[in-house]
Amino acid sequence: MISAASEWKLSNHTSKHWKAQAQTLLIVSEIRWPRLLGALYGILVGLLTAYCLPLLLSAKPGTSNSSGSATGSGSKHLGSKPLTKKEVAKHQTSDDCWIVLESRDHGGQARVYDVTAYVEEHPGGQAILNNAGGNSTKGFYGPQHPARVFDMIEDFYLGDLEV
């Protein structure tokens, strides 16, 4: 919004070019910079929270999987040797949580996932631990999970369960 004093300054310029330049400068000088910067800060914090925080939380120092590598985001496939039920059963706490899912995309093959890094972030709270160290297929494919969960789980894949 241009004030009356600003309009007077503009009317003294005869050139349309200079008048347009002056008007642009007046508009920029009247922007509420603190409000604009606050909004930009809010957007930046939102983006960092949405994209960077999950990555930081998934890399917990001091935790490791059975291969000895640090737990973090991305696939931690342990190799071609299938995992046994006995091995999976050892990982049933919130600090070390493996689950077995009978995969719908892999012909029903039981696959093992290390979801330790996700336990604290699980929207259903401690429900993720109900079948920790065992078969969680029934709970996983329940109506409470949105479709994106089915893609996200692959980030935690360790290997196939021994038949």
Output the domain CATH number for residue 147: 3.10.120.10
Read off the pLDDT of each residue in 60-88 and give the average, rounded to a whole number.
59
pTM, full prediction:
0.54
**Does one domain contain both 75 and 155?**
yes
| More reliable by pLDDT, 9 or 64 | 9
Residues 38 and 69 in one domain: no
The β-bridge partners of 155 are none
Residue 76 and residue 16 in one domain: no
Q: What is the mean pLDDT of residues 25-42?
A: 68
- Does residue 53 have a pLDDT over 60? no
Q: Which domain holds residue 112?
A: 62-160
Task: Note whether 95 and 49 are same-domain residues.
Answer: no
50 with 120, same domain: the answer is no
Q: Which of 14, 35, 54 is the last residue of a domain?
A: 54
Q: Are residues 103 and 47 in the same domain?
A: no
Do 74 and 144 lie in one domain? The reply is yes
Q: Are residues 100 and 43 in the same domain?
A: no
Total of domains in the chain = 2
pLDDT value for 27: 62
Same domain, 83 and 130: yes
Q: 35, 54, 73 — which closes off a domain? A: 54
Q: Are residues 46 and 74 in the same domain?
A: no
State which amino acid sits at residue 125. G
- Statement to judge: residues 121 and 78 lie in one domain: yes
Low-confidence winner among 7-11, 85-89, 120-124, 133-137 (lowest mean pLDDT) = 7-11
Do 44 and 67 reside in the same domain of the chain? no
Give me the chain's average pLDDT, please: 74
> How does residue 11 score in pLDDT terms, banded at 50, 70 and 90?
low
What was the pLDDT predicted at 13?
47
